[in-house]
Amino acid sequence: MISEESKTTSVKNLNDVISNRSPNSYPKEAMPLGTFIRSTRFDRLGVITDAFYGEKDEDDKNIVVYTVLLFPNDHKFNSLSQEEENFYLSNEYEYEVVGYLMISPVNLLKLSKDFGGNLFL
């Protein structure tokens, strides 16, 4: 069960990320917004909420950095732990995420309604 405090914090963090995005800054080679991903660093599922260029690699090419909303890891078999997992907003390098392109991207507007609505307008 996700606490209301966790939802409120997640909404504020997401709103900050979305409000600072300019429409022309989205990298052309980036996966679409709303694409389901797995973060290899945190081993959690999530969705892409933004992308931007980070540093340059050794070949002098821009590295795409994704802002991702990672979902709580609610494994039923791991119920011995009393710790509650929360949503997590993270910036991940393009080589730290696995995109599930065979699944249609989630509608971020609909997703935002679960967090209090009007987040992505």
Report the SS3 class of residue 69: strand
What CATH number does residue 51 fall under?
A: 2.30.30
- Does residue 121 sit within a domain? no
What's the pTM? 0.72
User: How much is the pLDDT for 83?
Assistant: 67
User: How much is the pLDDT for 111?
Assistant: 76
- Does residue 119 sit within a domain? no
User: How much is the pLDDT for 109?
Assistant: 78
Segments forming the whole domain that contains residue 57: 4-104
User: How much is the pLDDT for 14?
Assistant: 60
Pick out the chain residues at pLDDT < 70.
1-23, 75-84, 114-121
Residue 40 neighbours by CB distance under 10 Å: 13
Distance in angstroms (rounded) separating the CA atoms of residues 60 and 50:
22
User: How much is the pLDDT for 107?
Assistant: 87
